[in-house]
Amino acid sequence: MAPISKECDFLVIGGGSGGLACARRASGQWGAKTIAVESNRLGGTCVNVGCVPKKVTWNAAAIAETLHEAASYGFQIKQTAPFDFKTFKHKRDDYIKRLNGIYERNLEKDHVEYLHGRAQLLSKNEVEVVLHNGSKEKIRAKKILLATGGHPNIPKIPGAEMGITSDGFFDLETLPKRVALVGAGYIAVEMAGMFHHLGSETHLFIRHETFLRPFDPMIQDTIVKEYERQGIHIHRNSSQSKIEKKDDKWMTMHYTDKTSPDGNTLDIDCLLWAIGRSPEVEDLGLDKAGVEQNDKGHIIADEYQNTSVENIYSLGDVCGKIELTPVAIAAGRQLANRLFGGEQYKDAKLDYTNIPSVVFAHPEVGSIGLTEQEAREQFGGDNVKVYKTDFTAMYYAMMPPEAKAPTAYKLVCQGTEEKVVGLHILGSGSAEMLQGFGVAVKMGARKRDFDSCVAIHPTSAEELVTL
């Protein structure tokens, strides 16, 4: 066992968005002696294989979509060469590498010591880190944060290893000709839209009738119909039994779905599993420190990010609460404030209610608060009033009927005051739009507050203040 080589006030295990935000606040603002440990690239899932490269790819897909629609506005655009996916991919990689460097420089600026290695708990105050060069360091810390994130799941069926996950999506050097995506959440839906608009024949396999099932039914029904209108193949009530190698580039998926209950096959050159994520805890040594986990392996943490062990804390995807980057960042900053900011921050914590979220589908989806069903269950049907609209955005006025994408909005209001407890939007620009309306919902806005705001015309957003 390596002797104690370092001591600190605060040891952060995990260099993703939440861990780094907490480490930087603890050291840079409050002066705590802080060490951060990361075994992969700084920035975690979001920066390296998540939100950031995903949004860059979504931008490329949106440009492809616009080029296709340009003819309706009188532009005669002749494509002289196919989309150069390889060049795009390498430029995206370079951008991510620049971000990795920025993250490391930010740690230096805030006087956080950074160790590139794999950490394992030895006790409630001691950690062993195997550095990338193979050497070991033993660290004693007064407080420890576990922010190790998660990793994608792969099913246990024959040949499943021939597929990739969302991590592998960003390693693709060429655009697939025919891709199958399995899953019904954010990742599957976003990547299906990107593949389709960049030119791949796209098949989306879901277990039920709709995808994005935690969202309001208005969102589910509208986006499924829109994906089918665009030409994405939706395989409902599906399951996969095995994957077989066909040749050096192609494989065969064996499956059942609603239209082929007795079984069918599909030849594909790319298979992407998006069937959920598991916490990154396999070799973290939680048992040695006595840190409790739930039945899915997530670290159990309370509203203050306390685990079952005094002076060990946890946040982000490894806790499985709300797996969004800004949530982890906000929770990390609040935790650092509480632990090191003095008496004025002794009760600091993140409010996990009314957190806005967006799906970068085609079109975008945004949601904050309760779905209609959740509101009726919580407050009773007679205490809930719903305002909703669906329409065609002005952008599509120049296009033929078969090319027009939908826009749909819903406000869920509660009580005689008609407090807005849920806001759900689908359509172009929804992501940017929701950030502003999210503030209103977080502040407790009522329907009449929405009504009192003069509309901005002509916009889609004005429909939310004229319902």
- CA distances 197 to 154, 170, 335, Å, are 26, 16, 41
For residue 316, what are its two tokens? 């982000």
Active site residue 457: yes
Q: Between helices 325-340 and 17-24, what is the axis angle to 10°?
A: 30
Integer Cα distance of 461 and 383 in angstroms = 26
Token pair 């900011």 is found at 341
Catalytic residue positions, numbered: 457
